[in-house]
Chain A
Amino acid sequence: MSGRSTHHGPGAAGHEAHMDPTTAREAATLGIWTFLATEVLLFGGLFTAYVIFRIKYPQMFYEDHLELNRILGAVNTVVLICSSLTVALGIAAIRKGKVMLLRFYLFLTILLAATFLVIKYFEYMEDFSKGLYPSTDIFFSLYFMMTGLHAVHVTAGITALATMLVLAFRGRFSADYHTPVEVTGLYWHFVDLVWIYLLPLLYLVG
């Protein structure tokens, strides 16, 4: 995330960085997009493996995907989409200087992210009780690896969002300065993006 910002009293107007505020903001934006590029390629390796093995074993992928709980997968998609909305609304609020509203939306986003993880936990338990493990076959290896790596990202997202919430409570953000919130928002939307592809590939068409 962006480096430690300098001393900020509540409602401090300026952001005393080593560059002018606009340049600093642009640098932070490019920084997070660069990080997201490495993330695309991290997940990309698994997506590549998915494509190769799906072509090689279409029957296995078809039969195995029917074992997954499609409804819970869809519910979790809705949960993540809602959390993307709440973080976007939070950023729209702080752009207008509404700190209270930012705190509220950040809290809501964290709550939704936690809901996602709880649902995923129950899904994994259901899979295990059916005797489905990462070692079952290639489809389930990929399923657990991809959703597991995604869950790690959700957890990291919760940490980042919680950090933003604490900073918001300390009065660090204002209409003039809220770059860390924007950067965290971009990361959180990316986590949503990955799931948007995982849902159809794993749950819907196998």
Chain B
Amino acid sequence: MKPEHGGYGIYLMVWVALLILTGLTVAVSYVHLGMMNVVVALLIASAKASLVALFFMHLRYESRLVWGFALTPIFFLALIIAGTLSDTLFR
């Protein structure tokens, strides 16, 4: 077993951070910022996703091999979105 795994304290801190970020993203959605609304919302969502993956899914303590397994689908998803956009945008 890995003793350095996060304990109760770290989980509670991550939980509080996730709640604060959720409140923040909902609050910002009531402010009209134009295009920046999307950017801010996605940045906050990605910050939350990183917290969940790093601490709750304990990616932080995993080997490079597991990191590879976790990041590969993100790469392919980006490829699919970019590839499809390059087609539909320039028709």
Residues of A within 8 A of B (CB): 26, 29-30, 33-34, 36-38, 40-41, 44-45, 47-48, 51-52, 55-56, 70, 74, 77-78, 81-82, 84-85, 88-89, 92, 95, 175-176, 185-186, 189-190, 192-193, 196-197, 199-201, 203-205
Question: Is B41 touching A41 in the complex (CB atoms < 8 A)?
Answer: no
Q: Which of B15, B26, B66, B76 has the most chain A CB atoms inside 10 A of its CB? A: B26
Residues of B within 8 A of A186 (CB): 57
Contact with A along B33-52 (1 / 0, CB 8 A): 00001100110110011001
15 A–B pairs (Cβ distance < 8 Å), ordered by A: A26-B63, A30-B65, A37-B69, A52-B85, A77-B22, A81-B15, A85-B56, A92-B8, A95-B1, A189-B53, A193-B49, A200-B25, A200-B45, A204-B26, A205-B29
Residues of A within 8 A of B88 (CB): 52, 55-56
Additional A-B contact list (7), CB under 8 Å, known A48-B80, A204-B41, A205-B38: A30-B69, A40-B74, A52-B85, A74-B22, A78-B19, A85-B15, A92-B8
Q: What is the distance, in angstroms, from A140's C-beta to the closest C-beta of chain B?
A: 19
Separation of A190 and B77 alpha carbons in the complex (Å)? 16
Q: Interface range on chain B: under 10, 10 to 19, 20 to 34, or 35 or more?
A: 35 or more
Separation of A134 and B76 alpha carbons in the complex (Å)? 28
The 8 closest A-B pairs by CB, nearest first: A200-B41, A37-B73, A204-B29, A40-B73, A33-B69, A44-B77, A85-B15, A74-B26
Residues of B within 8 A of A92 (CB): 5-8, 11
Q: Which of A29, A34, A45, A196 has the most chain B CB atoms inside 10 A of its CB? A: A196
Q: What is the distance, in angstroms, from B42's C-beta to the closest C-beta of chain A?
A: 7
Q: Which of A45, A88, A186 has the most chain B CB atoms inside 10 A of its CB? A: A88
Separation of A78 and B22 alpha carbons in the complex (Å)? 8
